[in-house]
Amino acid sequence: MSRLLTSRLFIFLLAGYGLAALVVILIAPLIGAEDVNVAVITKDLLSQNWHSDSEIFFFQRIPRVILGFVAGGTLALVGSVFQVILRNPLATPYTLGVTAGGALGAVIAISIPGLVISFGPFSTIQIFAIFGSGITLGIIYYLARSKTGLSMNSLLLTGVTMGIFCGAMILLVRYLVSPHRLVAMDRWMMGGVQVVAFQELASLLPFLLPGLILLFSLAAQLNHLSLGEEMASGHGIDVARVQMISFLGGGLATAAVVSVTGPIGFLGLIIPHAVRKLSGFDHRVVLPASFLLGGSLLVVCDTIARTIVAPTEMPVGIITALVGGPVFIKLIISRSKR
């Protein structure tokens, strides 16, 4: 870990992840069911006279790539933080049940006739999803409190319990709703980064930016906390404060992403382990590298999802599950052998 503290190695590692992310972001918008002409796009950009190739490139694929990158990066970042504060290598952004609460809110919005409307960059589905995540977050925090701060065991158990409860409520709503609305529910639950134009991306910012800022501010403290709570306290770290900020920042960021994309699994599990294996355990590198690698992977998965069955497209959550499932099994097997 000490080798990662040198500024030269720090810059080298982040430059490598950043370069890989840049390559993915530049190439992904050029791939799709419809071929686009780079020369036409460049000409239209200079003349401001949009043809179909430019409209597809700038107003469909670029916003979609940005959303995919931000969503994947956020989920991977939250996973890397939760694995430290919960001291559980299998922790994910969904461990605390925030995702399940958001999914329940979205399903309720879809189930009510005439409620799915848009206003500005927001939609009622997103508002209900954030509201559901917020309620779940508040319940978990209230139940996990103790005299010394947050109890990590109670936090984990309460999160899992709330996830199971919200899952049962989703099944109840599905049972009661009219059958023709089940398709919309299932499509949302599979996860996706479908977005048209840049306006919809603005709906992420009110909750996402504060969450990301809180999480990135914890990088140095997480290095101490990864060695154990007692040792971190001995180094002058306010463990309860770090846990609280991690819980709040991770909850806000996850709720913001899930409210737009739906639940997309496995990124928050596999990416932090991959980064630590490639770059070590210094979280000043792990956090930004997880964001860059997670965002890049989701963009790649989404590119596959929208081309593999063209002209239709597959929900990206299916692709991430197909990739992440075997990796998850391999991780469990390797840990059991150790």
Q: CB-hemisphere CA count at 13 Å for 42?
A: 3
d(CA 170, CA 182): 11
CB 99 within 8 A of CB 262: no
**Would you state the pLDDT for residue 27?**
95
Whole-number Cα distances in Å, 220 to 93, 225, 228, 258:
21, 9, 14, 27
Q: Which domains does the chain have, with CATH numbers?
A: 2-337 (1.10.3470.10)
CB-based contacts of 44, cutoff 8 Å, min separation 6? 50, 51, 53, 54
**Would you state the pLDDT for residue 87?**
87
**Would you state the pLDDT for residue 286?**
95
Report the 10 Å Cβ neighbour count for 38: 10
End-to-end CA distance of the chain: 21
Name residues of the chain where pLDDT drops below 70.
Answer: 1-5, 148, 196, 335, 338
| Phi–psi pair at 188, nearest 5 degrees | -70, -40
**Would you state the pLDDT for residue 196?**
66
Alpha-carbon Rg for the chain, nearest whole angstrom, is 20
Q: Which pTM was predicted?
A: 0.92
The two structure tokens encoding residue 255: 């709720």
* CB-count exposure of residue 168 (10 Å: 0-12, 13-18, 19+): exposed
